[in-house]
Copies of this chain bind each other. A is one copy, B any other.
Amino acid sequence: MRTQHEVGTRERIVQTTSRLMQRQGYEATGLKQISQEAQATLGSVYHFFPGGKRELAVEAVRHGDREFAEFLRTAFDQEDDPAVAIVTCTRDLANGLRESAWLDGCPVTTTALESAGREPEIQQAAEDAYENWRSLVRNKLRHSGFTDDTAHDLAHSVINMLEGAELSAQVSQSVTPLEIAGKHLARLINSYR
């Protein structure tokens, strides 16, 4: 039995947009480039997304949200200790960055920053993504015995440190920021036990 089936045009457009905006941002990604790389025509793009580029960006950010959430869930499912799981995340993120020639950073952040204060719907989708990721970390910590307040605060700093370290790693083309982030986040988490 194959769960994998042919990917429809709509999904191909969303995936392509997400990847392009991850690498280039919202403003630098054109609909022409999207339609070409997704092997769809401009007419198809506007057929599925009558709201144009803005609507497409919202879907792309939601796609990135699901993508990174799946990454976190996998790490948390494979390791009981949240501190150890976070270190695994930093290592996997570093590997992914290096293997993509430092091109594939956070699939949401560049578009989020470009749209902050200018494109409310895109900004909201990005805020939803961050909140979703924080809630995954928060639940992992709560199930490991941390209090609600501690888990809430740690979830914020885990996601924020991962964001900052990945950004820094990408700009400096070095895994060092992510390695240090893993070490310090584990230390911070363990200081609350």
Contacts and interface: CB of A to CB of B under 8 A. Distances in A.
Interface of A: 23-28, 101-103, 105, 109-110, 112-114, 116-118, 123, 126-127, 130-131, 153-154, 156-157, 159-165, 167-168, 170-172, 176-177, 180-181, 183-184, 187-188, 191
A8 B109 CA distance: 35
A117 B25 contact: no
Contacts of A117: 23, 101-103, 170
A105 B101 contact: no
B114 A102 contact: no
B157 A167 contact: no
A163 B167 contact: yes
Nearest to A162: B164
Given A109-B113, A163-B167, 6 more contacts: A27-B114, A28-B118, A156-B165, A156-B168, A157-B161, A164-B164
A26 B26 CA distance: 11
A116 B181 contact: no
A187 B191 contact: yes
Contacts of A181: 156-157, 160
- Smallest CB-CB A-B distances: 8 pairs: A164-B164, A27-B27, A160-B164, A163-B164, A110-B113, A157-B184, A160-B165, A25-B114
B161 A113 contact: no
Contact of A25 (B101, B113, B126, B172): B113
Contacts of A131: 172
